[in-house]
Structure 1
Amino acid sequence: MTGKSYLFGGLIMRGSLKKRGKYWYAIVDIKTGNSKRKQKWINTKCERKSDAEKVLRDILTKVDKHQLILSEKITFTQLLMDWLNHVIVNSVEETTWESYELVITKHIIPYFRSQLHDILLQDLQPVHLQKYYDEKYRGNKNEKGLSSNTLRKHHANIKKALDHAVRMNLISINPADKVVLPKKEAYRTNYYTVEQLQKLFDICLGTNIESAVYIAAHYGLRRGEILGLKWDAIDFNQGTIIIKETRVKYGRNIVTKGPKSESSFRILPLMSNIRSYLKEVILKQKHKKLFYGSNYNDLGYVCCLDDGSPLKVEYLSRKFKEILKKNNMPHIRFHDLRHSIASYLLKHGVSLKDIQVWLGHSDLSTTANIYAHIDMEMKHETAKMINNIFAKVRI
């Protein structure tokens, strides 16, 4: 064994080398003023002593700059669970936490435990993460490959957890910063034409989801927003409708919470035909109250079952799908009603900025990315018009 002592910033540090097998190990010995001592063995992965000495000098420099981590051994998967259950559990929405938990426990942790034998956090390298993304994207015989957009959500979770590890001095750099993700895929929406929407209104007439479909299609509301809409959010005198609550599924339960983002909270004008329609709905609900008496659940929801109970998330989606199939309508999701009205507005000259505000998107790029293909269709029409203008002109 060979060793040297160094003096850095009042700390006496001793570095030594010892060979184990074919590799030299650097042993960093730190003594503080109160005689406390910490020692760390680090595999230099060098077979020659001269190379190992260079690594040792680099290690001691990192110690001086507080870049060398002297921590207890922790696996990458332990970090993920600690970050999930103790760091962010009270700082994000319940539904957001649930989506993180699903990604981490269903995908990331099983992979790193089986494929990399629960690798230590300090040993985690960009190549390990890169291999995870590549394999998840490609898929295998037992598992379908994930989309690049889905992988970006995985990456967001991994990066945030590793950022926390850096802040806690568990690691010096974040290996997730150096990976290359698959190219982001363009999001293509499905939507109905005005004629198809009119037919949809007709076939939903008299069903339990009639009001949900009719109002959502006119305003482009998210599913949770239409399910969370209450009568106190509608002001017939001022002619406004306020989007201020959403009802979403959280595990087996349904939770009510605020809008998805600050921009999702919005006040929209009450359309004249919606005003008339809602007054009809009020009248129908009054008749239902009389019929059900004390068994009526007067919770104040606009879209509800006959006994006043609010529509459940899965019920709305399932019923919507059943109605479309029964009437031979093209399959779309309930959420695609939102895309339908936005597509119609875009094609009729409404700006992306105005559509962003109407839909409650947090930024314009979200709106632009979703409806880029429609914008291109419009540009093709413009190109045809210009081409026709000069079609008879000879150059």
Structure 2
Amino acid sequence: MTTNPRKKRTRRANGQGSVYQRSSDNLWVGAAYVLMPDGTRRRKVITGKTEAIVTTKLRNLQSKSDQGIPAEATNWTMEAFLHHWLEYVVKPSRKPKTHQGYEVVARVHIIPVLGRKKLHKLNGADTRMFMKRVANTCLCCLHGYDKRRGPKAKCCALGRCCHKVPSDRLIEQIHSVLRNALQAAVREELVQRNVAKLVQVRGATYEVNRGLNVDQARKLRVATENNRLKALYTLALYLGLRRGELLGLRWEDIDLDDKFLEVRQTLQRVDGELRAVTPKTRRSRRTVPLIDLCVDDLREHRECQGRERKSAGERWVETGYVFTTEIGTPIEPDNLRRNWYPLRVAAGLDDVRLHDLRHSCVTLLLGLGVPPHIVQAIVGHANLDVTMTIYAHTSLEEMRQALGKLGEHLN
């Protein structure tokens, strides 16, 4: 005759799981279907000495499950948590390019070193030592780190370290990804505090004054006169549009009669495919007026595109984009360099990047005395600090004039 292993049972409503006392050892047992790390729901069993303990544990487990926190999260390693964070927190809420960048940093730099560490046991000392190792390890060894054996000293083992230490920008990115991930763990109540915030890293410095001056801008205009993408460089220089915004621009976004265009999307290559995604920030989605010079270049470009469509015949792919290849397909963001490099050489601008045309628009407008908030609206900066701190600079001549005014006033 078999005996029932369940000695006592507490009645619970549907969906609340079950709680009972086991006859074999008198322990109380709770069971309920909860969310697992792979996204499925499975039956989870917990035990305790009293009914109250088990009921509380079960309630907490179900509460976290309702919030989207998997049942095994309390015992996660850093690697398991980072994968969860990237897939279920970053991917749904951030731009594809942002998710891709975070994933690379986590996979290449963080997981090989901290991946086996328990999330709830990570402390400030661990984070500090990790960031110190990142800052003091040459790139060859940093990218060749092995989980079990430590750094694969690709060059240092042979006694000839390359001494190419990570840039301040890379160090800042690694710290930022770790800090953001741990902050998500705090919000989900997996850890009590964000230990990455206890560690400070030196902020990256950004070069300023990389924009063109008036004479250089005029030389560029001459160099682009016979280029098939002349209108693209005109919009970059006069409106400060980003590369992805230029390549994602469609004819339906432009009104040449009323003279304005709308920045509605940006073209990016993510995970091996070109994607039209929403603009970088909320302020990046904007309406910008067109001056006559921009309108004239766009009309000329539309006529040129019509001739290319006719010449391509059946090979033409209608995409609706303003700037395309000679058969109508979107232009690869990286391939735009092939068109830009010969132009900058012809204009005598050997060290100027395409993105510096955006810088030029900002600095030239500010130099003309245009109010910073107007410049911010034109180029779509997220906030005014970006406009003023990164791009605005004072020339030696401007300082000389200011001091001259002071001298005249005092004399």
TM-score w.r.t. structure 1 length?
A: 0.75
Equivalent residue in structure 1 for 2:403, among 375, 378, 384 = 384
Establish whether residue 88 from structure 1 lines up as the match of residue 90 from structure 2: yes
Pairing 1:297–2:299 present: no
Once the two structures are superposed, the pairs formed by residues 34-73 of structure 1 within 5 Å of their partners are 34=52, 36=54, 73=75
**Identical positions, percent:** 26
- The match for 2:117 among 113, 116, 119 is 119
Unaligned residue ranges in structure 2 (runs of 5+): 1-46, 58-71, 143-163
Q: Is 1:346–1:375's contact at 8 Å kept on the other side of the alignment?
A: no
Secondary structure, in 3 states, of the residue corresponding to 1:247? strand
Match of 1:182 in 2: 202
Query: Counterpart of 1:308 in structure 2: which amino acid?
Result: G
1:170 aligned residue (180, 190, 197): 190
Paired with 1:137 and 1:377, the residues of 2 have a C-alpha distance of 35
Give the alignment's Cα RMSD to 1 decimal.
2.8
Please state if 1:359 is matched with 2:379.
yes
Does residue 349 of structure 1 match 2:398?
A: no
Structure 1 residue 379: Cα displacement? 5.7
The alpha carbon displacement at 1:37 in A equals: 10
- Quote the Cα distance in structure 1 between the aligned partners of 2:189 and 2:137: 34
Matching of residue 109 in structure 1 with residue 111 in structure 2: yes
- Once the two structures are overlaid, the 10-residue window that deviates more, 199-208 or 259-268, is 199-208
Deviation of 1:302 after TM superposition, in Å, equals 1.6
Contact 2:242/2:355, CA 8 A, preserved across alignment = yes
* Shift in CA distance, 270/101, structure 1 to aligned 2, threshold 3 Å: same
Contact 1:31 1:38 in 2 (8 A): no
Within 2, Cα distance between the matches of 1:75 and 1:38? 25
- Structure 1 Cα separation of the partners of residues 397 and 48 of structure 2: 68
Partner residue in 2 for 1:324? 344
The match for 2:76 is: 74
For 1:306 and 1:37, the matched residues in 2 are separated by 68
* Offset of residue 349 of structure 1: 0.9
Cα drift, residue 293 of structure 1? 2.1
Residue 382 of structure 1 deviates from its aligned partner by 4.1
Instruction: Give the match for residue 222 of structure 1.
Output: 242
Aligned-partner SS, 2:354 = coil
Which moves more between the two structures, 316-325 or 138-147?
Answer: 138-147
* SS state at 1:342 partner: helix
Q: Which one of 128, 132, 135 corresponds to residue 133 of structure 2?
A: 135
Work out the CA distance in 2 between the residues paired with 1:37 and 1:233.
58
Q: What's the CA shift for 1:292?
A: 2.0
Q: After TM superposition, list the pairs within 5 Å mapping 1:368-383 onto structure 2.
A: 368-372=388-392, 374-375=393-394, 380-383=399-402
Distance 1:350 1:222 in 2: 20
Mark the runs of 5 or more structure 1 residues left unpaired by the alignment: 1-28, 40-69
AA matched with 1:137: A
In 2, distance between residues paired with 1:171 and 1:301? Answer: 47
Cα separation, 2, equivalents of 1:128 and 1:326 = 52
The alpha carbon displacement at 1:126 in A equals 1.0
* C-alpha contact (below 8 Å) 1:98/1:250 kept by paired residues: yes
**Counterpart for residue 266 of structure 2:** 246
What does residue 51 of structure 2 align with?
Answer: 33
Return the alpha-carbon distance in structure 2 between the equivalents of residues 244 and 36 of structure 1.
53
> How many residues align structurally?
329
- Within a 5 Å distance, the mapping from 1:142-221 to structure 2 comes to 142=140, 144-221=164-241
SS in structure 1 at match of 2:93: coil
Q: Give TM-score scaled by structure 2 length.
A: 0.72
